[in-house]
Amino acid sequence: MVVHGARPTLASIGADSFRAAAARSIPGTFGEPLQAIATFPGISPMASGLSYFYSRGAPPADTGYFLDGIPLPTLFHLGPGPAVVPSALLDSVDFYPATSPARYGRFAGGVITATTRPASAATRAEASARLFDSSALIEAPIGPRTSVLVGGRYGYPNALLAFFAPTLSIDYWDYTVRLSHAITDHDALSVLALGAYDYEYDSAQDVIPVSTEFHRIDLRYDRTWTRGSLRLAMTLGYDRTDHVISQSSHEYVTSDNARLRLEVHQKLMGSVELWAGADANGARYDYDFSGPDRDTQPLHSEQFAGAYADLSYRPIRRLEILAGLRMDGYRSRDGLNAAVDPRLAVRLALSPALTWVSTLGIAHQEPAYVVPVPGLRVDPSGSLQTAYQAAEGFEAKLPSGVTASVKGYYNAQRAMSDFVSECGTSVAFCAGVARVDGRSFGLEVLIRRSLASHLSGWLSYTLSRTERFLGADTFLSIFDRTHVLSAVMLYEFGRGVRAGIRTTYYSGRPFLRAPVGLTAVEQTENGLEPGTTQTRLADFFRLDLRAEKRWALGDRSWLSLVAEIFNATLSKEAVDLKCSALETNCAQRFLGPITLPSVGIEGGY
C-alpha cells in the first residue's frame, strides 16, 4: 500500500486542490482529472456538455490555463470529452476561482494550473480504447540520465453522433512529447511539446462552425539546491482558428508567439519563502475574411512583459500569510498599457478543527472574446479589464475524514468583455464583444470526504449573482446562474470493482427579452414597455454514471473495463427564447439531449 499525502502549501491558499490520479474515477469526466474542476464551487457552466465556465462571474476567456507554468489557449477538446493534456502525465491540479498567486497573472477571472509528474526512472505506459477515441502514453529511460515520454489521442466520435446529432461531424487529436536529461544531480534540461486539433462540420448548413489547433514547444533549464530552485525557459507557440460560413465566406485567425521566462523559488530565513520571476512575450497576429465583403487586416504584433514576487511568511505556527505583487506592461500599435496587481492571502487556525481564510487582490487582463479562441486577439483599444476580488471563509475538519469549507466572495468588475449589451433576443445575434462594468457576489460551500476512502466524494454548492451595469440600468449577466449544485459519490466494492454517481443541477440563465440598444421610444413603438425586461430559462438537472472493474496482471500491470455515461437522464437544456416580432409570445428552445455513452478498455504498467 502506498499512501500519498500533501499538506496545503502557502502558495495554494484559496485554491481547491486535488491529486490527478485520485480524480480520474469521477463520473462524467471520462477519466480526465481536469474535467473534475466543473464539480467545484465557484464554477458556472455556459451549458451542459461545453467545457467553458464562468468563474465567479468572469467569462470563460478570463480564466487562465497553465501547465507547468506554460499558458495554454484551451484545456479541452470540443464537447464534454477529453482534455488536451494526457491524464497519465498530470500529478496535481489547483483551481483558483479568483485571487491566484501573483505568478499566475494576466487573467481577471479564475486560474486552473496543472503540474506534470516528474520524469520516471522506470518504463511506464498507459493506453485506452473507447467508443469515441483511443489514446496511449509511454515513458521510458534511454540512458542513466535521460527519459523520453510520448503520448497521443485520436478521436472518432461520429459513430455516436449519428444517433444524437446526425448532421454534425467532429474530429480531434492531440499529442505530447517530453525529453528530459539530468546533466548533474542538480541540473536538468527538458523539452515539452504538445498540441491539439479540433474540427466540426455541420452538413445541414454546409458550414464548418469551428476548426482550431494550437502547438507549444517549451525548452527549459532547471537547477535545484538545498533550499531553492531556478527555472529558465522559452516557449514557442502557434494558434489557428478557422470558421467557414459558406462556400464563398471563410474567416480565419492565426498567431505566432514566443515567451521567455525566469522563475526562482527560495526558502529564506526562518519560515519565509519567496517565489519570484519575470517574463517577456511577443506575438504576431493575422486575420483574413474572404467573402462578399472581403476584409484582410495587415499583420500586427504586440509585446508584453512582467515581473512578480510572492512572499510567504509564518510568524507563528497557526498563521500563514502570502503577499504578492505583479507588474505588467502591454505594448501594441494602439499604445502602452500598464497594470499593478497586489494580492494578499491569509490562513489562520482558530482551533485544531477550524481555520479562517481570507483573500484580497486586483487583477488586470487585456480585452478578450467571451470564450477562449486560439489565435484570436480582440481590439485592445481602451482600458484593460479590471477585477477587484475579495473572499472570506472558514474551513473545518469534521468526523469520519470529512472536511467542509464556506466562502463568501465579492468581485467588482470594470471594462469586462461580455455579451450583455450587444445581445438582443438571442446569444447567436450578438453584434460583438461588449465592454461593461459589473459585479459578482455569492456564497460557496464544499463538503468532501477523502478520495482515499472506500466511500468518498463531495458536495459543492454555489449561490451567486452576477450583474452588469449599462448606464443607469442594472442587468443580470446573460450567463448568471443563481444556484449551482454538484454531488459526487464514489464507492470501492473491493476486488477491483468501483462505481460512482454524479449529479449536476443549476438554475436557468437569464434571457434578454428586448434588445438593450432600443430606446424607450423604440420599445414603445414595438409594443414593449420602456425598460429592458429579463426572464429566466428553465432549470437543468443531469445524472452521470461510471463503473469499473480492474484486474491486476502482476506487480505493476493492470487492465480495466470501464462503462460510463454522461447525461444518463437524457436531459434537455433550455438555451434560448424564441419570440414573436413584438416579443409578446415567447417559447423556450431546448438543446439536446447531449448524451455521451462510453465503454472502453484501459491498461498500463
Give me the DSSP letters along 283-322.
EEEEEEEESTT-EEEEEEEEEEEEEEEEEEEEEETTEEEE
Q: Is residue 2 part of a domain?
A: no
What pLDDT does 454 receive?
84
Q: What are phi and psi of 453, to 5 degrees?
A: -85, 160
What pLDDT does 424 receive?
41
Helix, strand, or coil (residue 33):
helix
Q: Is residue 162 part of a domain?
A: yes
What pLDDT does 378 receive?
77
Q: Is residue 5 part of a domain?
A: no
What pLDDT does 537 receive?
87
Q: Along the chain (605 residues), what's the average pLDDT of each consecutive run of 10 residues? A: 50 84 90 92 88 89 93 86 90 93 92 92 93 93 92 89 78 95 94 94 78 95 94 96 75 91 92 94 85 59 92 93 94 84 96 95 90 81 88 94 94 81 41 74 93 83 90 80 95 92 93 53 45 76 96 90 94 81 69 86 93
Q: Is residue 4 part of a domain?
A: no
Q: Is residue 393 part of a domain?
A: yes
Q: In CATH, what number is assigned to the domain containing residue 174?
A: 2.40.170.20
What's the total number of domains in the chain? 1
Q: Pairing between strand 596-604 and 586-591?
A: unpaired
- Dig out the grid coordinates for 286 from the structure: 493575422
What pLDDT does 433 receive?
52
Q: Is residue 19 part of a domain?
A: yes
Q: Is residue 586 part of a domain?
A: yes
What pLDDT does 385 receive?
92
Q: Is residue 38 part of a domain?
A: yes
CB neighbours of 331 closer than 8 A, spacing ≥ 6?
Answer: 302, 303, 304
Q: Which domain holds residue 474?
A: 10-604
Compute the radius of gyration of the chain from its Cα atoms. 24
Express the helix, strand and coil content of the chain in percent, nearest 5 each: 5, 60, 30
What pLDDT does 524 receive?
45
